[in-house]
Chains A and B, each alone.
Chain A
């Protein structure tokens, strides 16, 4: 454990220095122990993965412009969707919010100087890099065609591609994820400054805490599963091979025991971001703070009990199916609690439609659809019909992309001024969110329709009756790609052209807005005062600095 010699943060830095300017040179980044820099490196890494995965997605959609084979053979198509899925899931969406935004924001929001184990944090990043290299190697050598789920016996006996390489990649990424989660739990437990009680923690921290619990409890099971898979493929262990007395459904159980909780690793931090955004931009304290906090924990725990809903059609016993179906329904309760609380927060608030809020509103709409369609899949009778169709594809894209990705971008816009010290162009930001919202629905809504009419997933061609939906979806996908690119451009341009960001541009009351933008190396010059994180009245607009500032610090104002 990284508890031995922990090099001191440079004590010689000048007060006007921030974490970006405190030291120079490429090495000062590569071996940094500063959580903010590690967060930024994670951000760059995961965004690269996202654009790679997105590029593959566009190729996939392009294939569907007509029902006959268009650009790719069926083998190539298999490879495309596998890599798209694997990259998006393992390299982008799981690390995106916790490891990139969370790493940057968590200690600052908490009022700590760093995470508990800075070296482990850096190690986690490099594990991510190594895992990514394994994936890329698989991509460049033989590709991978098992689907991101690596189902046996296809992955162990039939596939001609380099499954072992990709498996090890995912295994290593799993450890990267465990390290992040472990670090966050310990940080939240032991590093809270005086006054930061559990119930004064911003909800983003609660959601990261719940996420970290899942990361720590679920990921090891994936690890052992992947090891068994690799051993099975290399040596013929026999555990998953019926010819040798094994059982392939056991693999599915193991895999989903991780992967269902993993979908909550993806969505919980997104929900945390939304709690922050909705409250800040409605200029109102969050409604039902404790309900939201506890619903995060409830989701984390219930999420462990429902994995069997991915195997409704695998021939598992009826009793088991029914139990899993009932449990699946129960997870939607805490999710719904959150949605209602967000709506109640907005009610009678003075809503500011800044870019982050636009994304937050998109999230509300899209996540609700995604969650509700999950209930169709959790109901046994309908799932028999809908399983392995485009309906499932649309469902998880509504939650993963419409939910997590959209919240991620919203959070990125929100904390961008803090991370970089620059304001982005509000107008183009809003336009990007509009394009993303419309294009997203154009892409995925037709998939619900064709899925419910029987279009199976993972096919590279289709019957003529599905043509219109596929074409709509493909057009939407390219528009969506454009919208995301626009968002990226807006952010990147701000680095060069944006005006300097004040400490607190949004009027939020959480701690990260109390230190400068960008934060100094040790986050706070003096230990911050911890108050109610959602007390919007504690900050007031100060025209001199063009920033919100805490009330106690301003000369008495008449209001």
Chain B
């Protein structure tokens, strides 16, 4: 970074109008120096963020190289369609964010506020999809290593989290839907707080309160939309299995396998019971066929062989330690999955807070062509958060397919 120190004759002279502008910090000499400092600071912060994640990527690399079978086996439980959709959402939000920065530079307030709102919505959408994914996994008992072990069995004196026996197969899908249904039913509760904020905002004529309230609403709607879309995608995948005859990719076969065993309730609204039964039998037959096919063609491959064995059992809580066909310690994959994506989601939340703050300030008309640093810096942060996801997605979702 080049230094931005402009030589100036004497200190007094440099006390020009710049120092009397609203957001100029007095220990800087001029706007350029202030901007450059902020930018360098932000870049350094991003370096620390990358290093923060790099520890996890390192752990990932270590375990993937020592337990390749675990990764290939366990990653098939992740839904790459949902992951892919989230990737697209984030990339799109990066676009809107970059565009927002441009608006700030050009002093286009309406554009800035709108684009920030869209970015916020995308972020929330992402979290909504993640909520669905986590809920689904939790109910399928796809959890981290320690979740199935009694603390005392591994010599621990204590462990906050203890999970009992896995649910019977049939129940978990219902449970996911039930808990998500609850969210669907009672979502308006969550809107109370932002609505109160908006109310206060109008009551007291305070724009910041109002803006915060609206940002809150956008976030809630985003999250709900995410959950709703995930459910639709989930259904569509399954419905598609029945509709297009029998898919020919492995992935479809897997999903059908999944259906064959535990389609309970979720199709009822779309199909009659009869149809459903027929479809189920159909799917089951197909799954078995597929399985045989795969085995025939790829059996020599040890790892894939294990995978194939696992297919019929795919929707049962396979990864409990007792499961015979799961590779040993398969849950290590989920330990890493939850930790990495969880930390990433936490960064998304921080980003949402920062974007809300930007929205408040842009509604207040703080940003001008000669002062837009904060938008730029949050933008950089947002891109790095996206970038991390762009690495996480293939590394977690797209292996072994």
Contact = CB atoms under 8 A, between A and B. Distances in A.
Query: Do the two chains bind?
Result: yes
Interface of A: 1, 3-9, 112-114, 116-118, 120, 153, 156-160, 178, 182-183, 185-187, 189-194, 216-217, 219-221, 223-225, 227-228, 231-239, 241, 243-247, 250, 254, 522, 526-527
A246 B332 contact: yes
Given A160-B157, A236-B159, A228 B339 contact: yes
A236 B161 contact: yes
A236 B53 CA distance: 20
Contacts of B53: 224
B52 A3 contact: no
B41 A6 contact: no
Interface stretch (B75-83, B89-97, B146-154): B146-154
Contacts of B331: 238, 244-245
A185 B53 CA distance: 22
A221 B54 CA distance: 8
Interface stretch (B25-33, B175-183, B223-231, B256-264): B25-33
Contacts of A6: 23-27
Interface stretch (B5-13, B115-123, B124-132, B195-203): B5-13
A156 B59 contact: no
Given A117-B41, A190-B33, 4 more contacts: A190-B4, A221-B55, A233-B156, A237-B335
A158 B63 CA distance: 24
B114 interface: no
Contacts of B154: 157, 236, 241, 243-244
Given A156-B156, A244-B331, A237 B145 contact: yes
B144 to A, nearest CB: 6
Interface stretch (B42-50, B206-214, B281-289, B384-392): B42-50
Contacts of B157: 157-160
A235 B27 CA distance: 47
A116 to B, nearest CB: 4
A120 B40 CA distance: 14
A112 B23 contact: no
Contacts of B300: none
B40 A216 contact: no
Contact of B52 (A4, A116, A223, A527): A223
B164 to A, nearest CB: 14
Contact of B161 (A194, A216, A234, A244): A234
B374 to A, nearest CB: 6
Interface in B52-66: 52-56, 58-59, 62-63, 66
B34 interface: yes
B145 A246 contact: yes
21 contacts: A4-B23, A6-B25, A158-B155, A178-B48, A189-B1, A190-B33, A220-B52, A224-B55, A228-B55, A235-B144, A235-B159, A236-B144, A236-B156, A236-B159, A237-B146, A238-B146, A238-B332, A243-B155, A244-B332, A245-B328, A250-B62
Contacts of A157: 154-157
Contact of A237 (B36, B48, B144): B144
B168 interface: no
Contact of A217 (B47, B343, B374): B47
A527 B27 CA distance: 12
Contact of A527 (B10, B149, B156, B328): B10
Contacts of A185: 40, 44
B159 to A, nearest CB: 5
Given A157-B156, A192-B3, A1 B374 contact: yes
B138 interface: no
B27 A3 contact: no
B332 A245 contact: yes
A3 B34 contact: yes
A232 B145 CA distance: 10
A407 B28 CA distance: 32
Contacts of A112: 27
Contacts of A189: 1, 3, 37, 40
B336 interface: yes
Nearest to A156: B156
Contact of B335 (A186, A217, A239): A239
Lowest 6 CB-CB distances: which A-B pairs, in order? A236-B146, A238-B145, A245-B329, A6-B25, A224-B55, A244-B145
A6 to B, nearest CB: 3
A477 to B, nearest CB: 34
Contact of B41 (A1, A114, A527): A1
Nearest to B366: A4
B206 to A, nearest CB: 18
Nearest to A113: B27
A186 B336 contact: no
Contacts of B7: 194
A190 B145 contact: no
Contacts of A193: 5
B38 A1 contact: yes
B324 interface: no
A110 to B, nearest CB: 11
A458 B41 CA distance: 42
Nearest to A258: B55
B160 interface: yes
B41 A182 contact: yes
Contacts of B5: 190-194
A3 B329 contact: no
Contacts of B1: 189-190
A235 to B, nearest CB: 5
Nearest to A33: B27
